[in-house]
């Protein structure tokens, strides 16, 4: 019986492993293809260098939002940045200039 169990569980493992890998990859692909919700803000990830370039070339059109706590912001911040802690952002979002969006 012990040998039969080993064979059974070995076969189960080798059958299950590809199925789990296939499931994982299909979930990852679905996440990449999911479109944003209607009305959701659009954003792109940019490098520090690109952010610096944008701030230097067109500062009047850029909002630099710092969502750290007030204490973290006061310890060190980028001049011109607006501090709205993440915990307050939903209630204070109207403080931002929507023409710069």
Q: Determine, yes or no, domain membership for 29.
A: yes
Q: Are residues 61 and 86 in the same domain?
A: yes
Q: Determine, yes or no, domain membership for 80.
A: yes
Q: Determine, yes or no, domain membership for 39.
A: no
Mean pLDDT calculated for residue range 29-54: 73
Name the residue range of residue 22's domain.
1-34
Q: Are residues 25 and 52 in the same domain?
A: no
CA-CA-CA-CA torsion sign (38, 40, 41, 43): negative
Q: Determine, yes or no, domain membership for 10.
A: yes
Q: Are residues 1 and 30 in the same domain?
A: yes
CA-CA-CA-CA torsion sign (71, 56, 46, 94): positive
- pLDDT tens per residue across span 69-92: 999 999 999 888 999 999 999 899
What is the pLDDT, as a whole number, of residue 32?
57
Q: Are residues 62 and 85 in the same domain?
A: yes
More confident residue, 96 or 2: 96
């Amino acid at each position: 019986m012990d040998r039969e169990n080993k064979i059974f569980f070995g076969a189960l493992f080798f059958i299950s492993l590809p199925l789990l890998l296939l499931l994982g990859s299909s979930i990852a692909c679905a996440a990449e293809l999911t479109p944003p919700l209607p009305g959701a803000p659009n954003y792109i990830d940019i490098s520090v260098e690109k952010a610096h370039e944008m701030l230097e070339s067109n500062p009047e059109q850029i909002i630099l939002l710092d969502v750290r706590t007030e204490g973290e912001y006061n310890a060190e911040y980028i001049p011109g940045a607006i501090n709205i802690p993440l915990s307050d952002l939903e209630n204070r979002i109207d403080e931002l200039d929507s023409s710069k969006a």
